[in-house]
Amino acid sequence: MNDDAREASLAFVAPLVALTLGHVLSNMVRTLPAIAADVLGRDLGVTAGGLASLTGAFNLSFAFAQVPLGVALDRFGVRRTALGLLAVAGIGAVLAALAGGALGFLIAQIVLGLGCSGMLMGPVTYAAKRLSPARFGLWSGLVQALGNCGMLLSASPLALLVEASGWRAGYWTCAGAALVILGLVALLVRGEDASGPRRSLAADAREVLSLTVSPRLRGVVVLAFASFAAVIGVRGLWGGPWLMEVKGLPRVEAGNILLLATSAVVIGPALWGIVDRRFGHRRALLVLGHLGAGIFLALTALGGPGGPLGGMPPAWDAVTLLGFFLLISVQPLAFAATRAAVPPDQAGKALAGVNLSFFAGAALLQAASGPVVAMAGTGAGLVFFGAAVAACALLYAAMTRKPA
């Protein structure tokens, strides 16, 4: 079957969608704390900085899981790996719903990070092993677009649920979703896609790490370090407090703004994938998209009370956050650049290596943002993430520049 027929085939699309629903779940659980930060902090007895550290554990365990994940995807296949991880994610959501204090919530975040560690890599690897590098760019964008619907669900819909029934109800909802998705993956995804020679697990793990630091992937790894960190820093932690505590908006109105802004990460990846497929210039798109995202995030903070632009109305936040999310949604092209750099039998390991950087950066930069916010306020935290994105974009541009 050629690529055109495979792309149109229900046998390709249905399993891909089932796997991508896991990414929807992952985005729900990682961004839920942003819309419930005030009640979460109160019930757990932690400060805003403490909550940043607790939720940062999700990203840290997620990052640590990437090396064994890359090995598992290439050695055992997408189906078996996804089923195991969905079960772990469901357990983590139950633990979060039952958490009686900071320690229990920390354990839940670690388990959730482990369970969600392959929710994006599963469908991305599934597509990478079946499509040419040229066509993979569009499909990686579509996977990210559908998966990012989880951020929409954790905006207004979960804001209403949290307002009515508390933050624990949000995690119970995620646990139920994990069970449903596990059933769909078991039903629709065939278990025949493991590939590669049978070497030792240690050798496979070393290959993941060596690919991650190899010259062909080094620039993408640097770009990835701040890319997702900014998304999760805004949408998963500081976006809600910025709108509710700094701008003084009620929870549901803040959720509506986040819903509008986050809609860009559903539309944006597909649009960037289409632009990449039609016009090329992937490197330039990645650089300009990330630089622009950093600028829009800084503009959000500058429009806060006492900022250089004065106290701008909520519409300002809606527009600048929409611009940020639309431009940062170029990030799936980093996966396309990764796929183009390696043969199909190394796709799982290479993609996991880049994803390691995405989430290691998210964990480290989110933890670093806590002291920044404690010292200078939530707006400084937004500027911190915007500056990190811009710096990594410039480094990527320098590291991938072709010699004259």
Q: How far apart are CA 10 and CA 8, in angstroms?
A: 7
Helix 215-233 and helix 201-212, axial crossing angle in degrees, nearest 10: 80
What confidence score (pLDDT) does residue 404 get? 46
Residue 134 is predicted with a pLDDT of 65
pLDDT of residue 274: 84
pLDDT of 387 reads 95
Q: Note the helical H segments in 166-281.
A: 167-188, 201-212, 215-233, 239-241, 251-262, 264-279
For residue 74, the one-letter residue type is D
The whole-number average pLDDT for the span 237-264 is 83
Give tens-digit pLDDT for 123-138: 888 887 777 766 776 7
pLDDT at 169 over 60: yes
Q: Establish if 4 belongs to a structural domain.
A: no
> What percentage of the chain reaches a pLDDT higher than 70?
92
> Is residue 8 pLDDT above 60, yes or no?
no
Q: What is the pLDDT of residues 59-102, one digit of tens each?
A: 788 888 888 887 788 778 889 999 999 999 999 999 999 998 88
Does residue 193 lie in a domain region?
Answer: no
Least confident window among 106-120, 143-157, 386-400: 143-157
What pLDDT, on a 0 to 100 scale, did the predictor assign at position 200? 66
For range 96-109, the mean pLDDT: 91
Q: Which residue has the higher pLDDT, 155 or 206?
A: 206
User: What is the pLDDT confidence band of residue 393, given thresholds at 50, 70 and 90?
Assistant: very high
**Position with higher pLDDT, 248 vs 131:** 248
Q: 22 lies in a domain?
A: yes
CB contact at 8 A, 363 and 62: yes
DSSP label of 237: I
- CATH number of the domain enclosing 231: 1.20.1250.20
For the cut 60, the answer to whether the pLDDT of residue 199 exceeds it is: yes
Of how many residues is the chain composed? Answer: 404
In a domain, 231, yes or no: yes
Indicate whether 226 pLDDT > 50.
yes
355 is a domain residue: yes
Domain that holds residue 91: 9-187+200-399
Number of structural domains in the chain:
1
Question: What pLDDT is attached to residue 155?
Answer: 65
φ, ψ of residue 190 in degrees (nearest 5): -80, 145
Q: What share of the chain is helix, strand, coil (3-state, %, to 5)?
A: 85, 0, 15
Q: Is residue 1 part of a domain?
A: no
Q: How confident is the model at residue 382 (pLDDT cuts 50, 70, 90)?
A: very high
pLDDT in tens, 268-279: 887 888 888 888
Q: Average pLDDT of the chain?
A: 84
| pLDDT of amino acid 193 | 47
pLDDT beyond 90 at 147:
no
Supply 332's token pair. 């799936």
Mean pLDDT, range 334-357, rounded to an integer: 80
What is the reported pTM? 0.72
Q: Does residue 192 lie within any of the structural domains?
A: no
Asked whether residue 194 is domain-assigned, the answer is no
Residues near 398 by beta carbon (within 8 Å), at least 6 away in sequence: none
